[in-house]
């Protein structure tokens, strides 16, 4: 694909999605619900995790300036709360530790997307919060309403180079508050999972 609104290798990150119409202004995230792609969406797929899933959405969105709206629909991902987290990062961004401010997900940390790319994402798109909506006729009506609305984002597509593995973020463990198994515990404040010996 080569025009000035879509990165040459788009979408740059693989995931559980289908490309429908790269020129459309609206993408659809179906959270934990698996749905067949609908006509006129730009890209449509699920997002079941509050960290890597959110990172993939941001990377694939900012590399296509045509995308101005993201419909967040489908059933929320239990525990991960990927819908709550997507809305939180869009509204609030991240703190110095990479934690998504306002997310109630289990491990809402961004480790592979730089702060300027997050700000690009927040400026480029408007989120349409319809969490819980699974009725395809209603989803299609929203796609139809937004598919041609407005102009492409007036900045070049931004492509994240994630070839280098980032150094893990040091996080202070404050104490386990979730027991996963008898000896595997998690501190949800820091997002650290550890084995109790």
Query: Residue 140: in which H helix or E strand, if any?
Result: helix 136-146
Residue 179: count of CB within 10 angstroms of its CB: 11
Question: Taking a C-beta distance cutoff of 8 angstroms, is the pair 84, 111 a contact?
Answer: no
Residue 76: count of CB within 10 angstroms of its CB: 19
* Crossing angle of the two packed helices 82-92 and 52-62, in degrees rounded to 10: 50
Query: Residue 115: in which H helix or E strand, if any?
Result: helix 115-124
In order along its 197 residues, the chain shows pLDDT tens digits of 446 999 999 999 999 999 999 999 999 999 999 999 999 999 999 999 999 999 999 999 999 999 999 999 999 999 899 999 999 999 999 999 999 999 999 999 999 999 999 999 999 999 999 999 999 999 999 999 999 999 999 999 999 865 444 455 555 556 677 777 777 777 776 677 777 76
Question: Taking a C-beta distance cutoff of 8 angstroms, is the pair 134, 46 a contact?
Answer: no
């Amino acid at each position: 694909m080569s025009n000035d609104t879509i990165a040459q290798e788009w979408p740059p990150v693989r995931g559980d999605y289908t490309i429908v119409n790269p020129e459309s202004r609206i993408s659809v995230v179906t959270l934990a619900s698996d749905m067949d792609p609908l006509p006129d969406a730009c890209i449509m797929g699920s997002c079941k995790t509050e960290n890597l899933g959110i990172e993939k959405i941001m990377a694939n969105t900012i590399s296509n300036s045509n995308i101005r709206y993201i419909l967040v629909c489908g059933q929320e991902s239990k525990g991960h709360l990927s819908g709550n987290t997507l809305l939180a990062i869009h509204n609030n961004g991240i703190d110095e530790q990479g934690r998504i401010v306002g997310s109630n997900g289990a491990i809402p940390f961004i480790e592979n997307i730089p702060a300027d790319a997050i700000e690009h994402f927040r400026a480029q798109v408007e989120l349409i919060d319809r969490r819980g909506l699974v009725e395809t006729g209603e989803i299609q009506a929203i796609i139809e309403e937004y598919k041609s609305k407005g102009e492409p984002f007036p900045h070049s597509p931004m492509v994240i180079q994630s070839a280098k593995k980032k150094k893990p973020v040091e996080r202070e463990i404050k104490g386990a508050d979730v027991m996963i198994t008898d000896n595997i515990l998690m501190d949800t404040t820091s997002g650290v999972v550890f084995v109790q010996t």
